[in-house]
Structure 1
Amino acid sequence: MMPSSDAAQPPPHSVRRGRPPAPISPDAGPLHRAWLEPVRNVYFTSGLTQDDLVDRSGYSKTRISELLRGNGYYPPWEITFSVIHALGMPTPPMVRLWKAAALEADKGPEWIRQCIEQVAHEAEGPPLPYQAFTETMHRPYLEYARAFLLTDRRARGVVAETNDILWLSWKEATASENLNRYAWLLLRSRVMLRAARDGGRPDLRAAVFSTREIRAHQDPGRMVALSELTDLFDAVSRLPDDQMDVAVLHYLCGIPDQRIPDVLGLSPAIAHAVDHHARATVEALLGIPDTRE
């Protein structure tokens, strides 16, 4: 998952002139936090103070503080736009994330429409490197999301949300040690937020019905295959995170072995070792004898 803004630290070249914002309110929903955390990260590393945001946005320090904390009311688009404009953040992904969070906060479509229409802004295009990156990762990200969320609509929605958060955080992402890893953990966090759970772990058993083996089998062979794959996917869901991700991408999503390290942001050697441990763990969970010397 992308680093929490509450724990973020400014880079060495950044000089803070004011106090960091207070922690995000526990009342802020997950979709509200999806855009609020990147905004706080940019603010925290910008060198600006709340007084600076007051001067640039035209809103009071109390209103700015409430927005940065996600405290009290869900902020109208006008003040939200004023803050991100002062911080130099892109508008298109912010509009989409703000709308989704407004619905989460029980704001009606008419209120949302009126808020957006009150503010004139230009829709700038995404950075070309960002566009190339998201296009390259689209298929594996979509397949991974679909494995847990089951429907194409839900999977596409989560990938789009991930891409919007990544766009908002693009400077931070590209300044990180590993862009691919940063983006993967972000996607993973958004998928797991919505995945069905079983005893605290994501539940992959329903994904069995989308496999080629089950679609191809006819009774009674279909029932045998269904039982075996259900046990397999249940075992996969109990793996440590990286092992589960490798297994899902390879065995459920059909992503070629050579692409998986790039998708996960791992070196080929580490990805190979993770895959090896995943196979051994699954075999142990299923009670398969180890015949390797």
Structure 2
Amino acid sequence: MAHRTWLEPVRGRLTASGLTLDELVNRSGYSKTRLSELLRGKGYYPGWEITYSVVRALEIPVGPVRQLWRMAAVEADKDTAWITSRIQDVQAPAPEEQPVAHLAFTQAMGQPYTAYARAFLQSDQRARQVVSETFDILWLTWDEATASPDLPRHAWLLLRSRVLARAPKRPGGRPDLRAAAFSTASQAGIRDLAERLAHIGRLARFFDTIAGLPPDQMDVIVLRHLCGIGLDAVPGIVGLAPAITHTLDHHARGALHELHPDTDTQE
């Protein structure tokens, strides 16, 4: 999966450029066979040198691709020494200038995106990694993102897809939020072990119900109930109008209250 995070934008850039494979061969210095293997994404995981040559030939920002290539190499079971040596074999270019609007967006959304990812992944490191991946993909596809009708919505759907792709799943395929019950502040203050376990059990069932809500309702409830983000801030994060967000919140809380009347979802 991680391999595709940088390969798909590269393929898209090649298509948009109008270059033929023969022209890419001339620009990159690699054979048609090698480039075809890289672009198909089948079989071996490509080294950074050939990946870098294609990225430079297509005038794609190197920094975010290198980060995504590194993360994908880890998922492809490449060891640290292999990854480091492949990167060191290529003379590092001068850092590209990150688009100012992209930088501002990442600074504004870094905290809520990470909180959302942490709710599903239950790991600060994994949450930061998936948010970094999302922002790198967004940089690679910045022209497409800014051309979309709503940049925050475009970015949020990208984040959600990256998070849910890595979240543990229930047998039916929905994300498994039950582990979040162990990290809530409400249960941490309960000293009696039996009472705490009972409370965790109720919360686990409640969070499991949240994961079964329609996606937009789930997002609003997770941001509010698990991440502690105020309702007025949610529209700007998920890229939906305030009226729609309030409606989603109202319907979600109604459904949750009907199934779990003993669990408070009010402000």
TM-score for both structures, normalised by structure 1:
0.83
Counterpart for residue 205 of structure 1: 178
Cα deviation code 1:50-92 (max 9, x no counterpart): 2221221122222222211102321111111111111111111
1:66 lines up with 2:66 in the alignment: no
| Higher helix proportion | 2
1:125 lines up with 2:97 in the alignment: yes
Matched to 2:19, the amino acid is L
Question: Which consecutive unaligned segments of at least 5 residues does structure 1 have?
Answer: 1-29, 289-293
The separation in 2 between residues aligned to 1:201 and 1:148, in whole angstroms, is 11
Q: CA RMSD in A?
A: 1.7
1:146 lines up with 2:118 in the alignment: yes
Alignment of 1:57-136 (within 5 A): 57-120=28-91, 121-136=93-108
The separation in 2 between residues aligned to 1:223 and 1:106, in whole angstroms, is 38
**Aligned with 1:272 (options 239, 246, 249):** 246
**Aligned with 2:154 (options 182, 186, 191):** 182
Cα deviation code 1:5-43 (max 9, x no counterpart): xxxxxxxxxxxxxxxxxxxxxxxxx11011111111222
Deviation at 1:225, TM superposition (A): 3.0
Structure 1 window deviating more from structure 2 (151-160 vs 129-138): it is 151-160
Deviation at 1:221, TM superposition (A): 4.5
Cα deviation code 1:157-177 (max 9, x no counterpart): 111111111111111111112
Counterpart for residue 215 of structure 2: 241
Quick one: percent identity of the two aligned structures?
A: 55
Q: Which runs of 4+ in 1 moved over 4 A?
A: none
Aligned residues between the structures: 259
Deviation at 1:224, TM superposition (A): 4.4
The separation in 2 between residues aligned to 1:208 and 1:153, in whole angstroms, is 19
Matched to 1:242, the amino acid is D
Deviation at 1:287, TM superposition (A): 6.5
Counterpart for residue 265 of structure 2: none
